[in-house]
Structure 1
Amino acid sequence: MTFKIVLTDYEFPDLAPEREVLARAGFELTACQAKSEDALIAACAGADAVINQYAQLTPKVIGTLDRCRIISRYGIGLNTIDVPTATDLGIYIGNVPDGSLEEVSDHAIAMLLSLVRGLTKFDKAVKGGKWDYTVVKPLYRVRGRTLGLLSFGNIAQKVALKMAGFGVRIIAHDPYANAERARALGVELVDLETLCRQSDYLSIHVPLVAETHHIMSAPQFALMKPTAIVVNVARGPVIDEPALIAALQEGRLAGAGLDVFETEPVGARHPLLGMDNVVLSSHAAWYSEDSEYEIRTKTAQNVVDVLQGREPTYLANPAVRDIARGPVAAE
């Protein structure tokens, strides 16, 4: 049986892991670099399955997927897919929520510690011929500080586990948090205002949905300590970027570590690029050779599962179960 499996867009140098998984099932992959709605509609016409990275699958695009049984997205976030439209049409949504938990949590901690210990300032000074510990003044001891977690999902829990050894008090805000799990990890659940007021370090891990867009904006930054550090390895638009920039420029926040931005890639004249109290990376917190292979193969396996008559291992829209599309006769 022949299926049309379309990859909307990708940033990888090759597609060997995906093709390997699909080939074992007797399937082939049609790879595209479609970005606009019209290009996506044309590329995905007649597709039985769609694999997606960054291209926006809007209601208009999804509405044309008359054969599609699954959209499988690389990684955790679903902000590129109009999930309600896909669900209403009986299309499974698959993702890979466990492919980079270690990497993202490590990255958040690395950004935080780099800022807490002034490593980028030290590095710049030493390479510039300046041997002087005062270039980073003032620094403060980590032990005894309060680490705030915005979200208490899998990645935030990894951060809590790893940071516990640094002797920090850990608090978290998440309306959907598992209170029993929080108690087991010694994490106190608080409201958003308390999180902002008490955090010396704030690590952000919320998904990008309507209720989290700009969840950190001017009112929240105004509550924070001027010595506080903010780290975001989630999605750029959960932070109101101009509000963050203003707080940093005006000394109302001490620093920020950002892997994600409201617009990606960051423009050459972006204000954040000139700040020495900011550590930046290129939406790469998820990456290691290990995680990349795991995410790519699991994304492809979601497609294989559905086209072979099973649910995807990583089903992101369980509400689709009662209305999921059955197979369409292949041509």
Structure 2
Amino acid sequence: MRVTITDLDHDSYAIEQAAADAEGVELLFINGDADSATDPRVKGTDGLVVQYAKVDAAAMDYLLPELKVIGRYGVGVDTIDLDAARERGIAVVNVPDYGTQSVADHAITLALGVIRNIKELDTLARKSTMDLAPAAPIHQFVDLTFGVVGFGAIGRACAEKARGLGFTTVVTDPLIPEGTTEVDGFTVASFDEVLATSDVVSVHIPLLDSTKHLFSDETFAKMKDGAIIVNTARGGVIDTEALVRAVESGKLLGAGIDVLEVEPVPADAPITKLDRVLLSPHAAYYSEESYVLLKQRVIRNTVDVLKGRECRFTVVPPKK
């Protein structure tokens, strides 16, 4: 039984190797590119593990009849043709839970950094000045409302952390049944109500056709004056140019942004020039702990399917 990792931008695959060894499974790493699913070295593999490699119908046909499962590092499976996999009885698994706490931690960190204006305070301290005027306004959490858009695992974790810090916390999610006013002690509101009442809006929704540029000029206009937006979800959910306009105009106080429409962000992009915007390079998922979990679980989930065990995170179930 063989599992092949097509591509990986990590420094090592030793963790994956250990996970495969523990299962008695052969592991092959080919260090390929986006088209490596059809590399001749992959032929004959039972399980395919990909990071960025594209796996379309043609690649699946090339790897059949041996291929039984495709594992994807992380949450997104947009590089895999799910319909083609379903038609061919090929299972698809992912690892959506490895970074839940790390992403929630990062969202909170960005929010707090902007609220307390840590970026400007650091600059002032390095200039040997104790004049706080350039850093104003600075707020305390207990007087603010923290709105969570998207109440999945990460959104829930973020809401719990925000509540623990003293924020009044409100959540919204189209999957929460209409008419629900409270979930696990959190106030549930409509999307527009969250925009209008929240001092911080933290985004935790997937990028779909329906959510692309959900945050636009029109959306920002509905937000509370002087609010902050935080995005650790997907860059395309926010219209970056509209965000720049909202901050430059003073409609928004600032933003904490981990994901952008163009990555890496160009050094001369307008958003990099905004003082009260904290940027990070798509790093919310990362912690020492989540890194290990991701690498272990992508192998284990793939092997679970190959060995006929139940796999908790199955995007396309195995053929019965």
Q: Same fold (TM over 0.5)?
A: yes
Q: Read off the aligned partner of 2:238 and give its amino acid letter.
A: I
**Per-residue CA distance 1:28-79 (angstroms, 9 max, x = gap):** 3232444444x44336444322212233445554554423221212222333
Matches within 5 A, 1:157-196: 157-177=156-176, 183-196=182-195
Matches within 5 A, 1:68-217: 68-177=67-176, 183-217=182-216
Equivalent residue number for residue 288 of structure 2: 289
Change (3 A) 1:15 1:182: farther
2:240 & 2:43 partners in 1: Cα distance? 37
Matches within 5 A, 1:211-230: 211-230=210-229
**Per-residue CA distance 1:215-234 (angstroms, 9 max, x = gap):** 22222112112311111111
1:45 & 1:280 partners in 2: Cα distance? 42
Q: Secondary structure at the match of 1:210?
A: coil
Contact 2:5/2:30, CA 8 A, preserved across alignment: yes
Equivalent residue number for residue 41 of structure 1: 38
Equivalent residue number for residue 309 of structure 1: 308
Which deviates more from structure 2 when the two are superposed, residues 243-252 or residues 222-231? 243-252
Q: Read off the aligned partner of 1:41 and give its amino acid letter.
A: T
Change (3 A) 1:108 1:191: same
**2:18 matched to 1:13?**
no
Q: Secondary structure at the match of 2:267?
A: coil
Which deviates more from structure 2 when the two are superposed, residues 200-209 or residues 93-102? 93-102
Q: Read off the aligned partner of 1:115 and give its amino acid letter.
A: V
Matches within 5 A, 1:268-279: 268-279=267-278
1:56 & 1:279 partners in 2: Cα distance? 32
**Per-residue CA distance 1:274-306 (angstroms, 9 max, x = gap):** 221111112111111111111110110011112
2:74 & 2:111 partners in 1: Cα distance? 23
1:296 & 1:151 partners in 2: Cα distance? 26
Change (3 A) 1:126 1:183: same
Q: Name stretches of at least 5 consecutive residues in structure 2 with no aligned partner.
A: none
1:47 & 1:229 partners in 2: Cα distance? 48
- CA-CA distance at 1:211 after TM superposition: 2.4
Contact 1:153/1:177, CA 8 A, preserved across alignment: no
2:30 & 2:257 partners in 1: Cα distance? 30
Q: Read off the aligned partner of 2:97 and give its amino acid letter.
A: D
Contact 1:179/1:189, CA 8 A, preserved across alignment: no
- CA-CA distance at 1:269 after TM superposition: 1.9
Change (3 A) 1:131 1:80: farther
What number of residue pairs does the alignment pair up? 318
Q: Read off the aligned partner of 2:283 and give its amino acid letter.
A: A
**2:257 matched to 1:258?**
yes
- CA-CA distance at 1:265 after TM superposition: 1.7
Q: Name stretches of at least 5 consecutive residues in structure 1 with no aligned partner.
A: 326-331
Q: Secondary structure at the match of 2:315?
A: coil
Change (3 A) 1:179 1:315: farther
Q: Secondary structure at the match of 1:269?
A: coil
Change (3 A) 1:36 1:180: same
TM-score by length of 2: 0.90
Equivalent residue number for residue 241 of structure 2: 242
Which deviates more from structure 2 when the two are superposed, residues 28-37 or residues 89-98? 28-37
Equivalent residue number for residue 51 of structure 2: 53
1:54 & 1:151 partners in 2: Cα distance? 25
- CA-CA distance at 1:199 after TM superposition: 1.7
2:203 & 2:242 partners in 1: Cα distance? 16
1:298 & 1:126 partners in 2: Cα distance? 43
- CA-CA distance at 1:182 after TM superposition: 7.6
Q: Secondary structure at the match of 1:202?
A: strand
Equivalent residue number for residue 231 of structure 1: 230
Q: Read off the aligned partner of 1:307 and give its amino acid letter.
A: L
Which deviates more from structure 2 when the two are superposed, residues 205-214 or residues 153-162? 205-214
1:11 & 1:155 partners in 2: Cα distance? 24
**2:19 matched to 1:30?**
no
**Per-residue CA distance 1:173-230 (angstroms, 9 max, x = gap):** 2111378998343222222222222221011111223322222222211211231111
Change (3 A) 1:183 1:193: closer
Q: Read off the aligned partner of 1:164 and give its amino acid letter.
A: R
Q: Read off the aligned partner of 1:138 and give its amino acid letter.
A: P
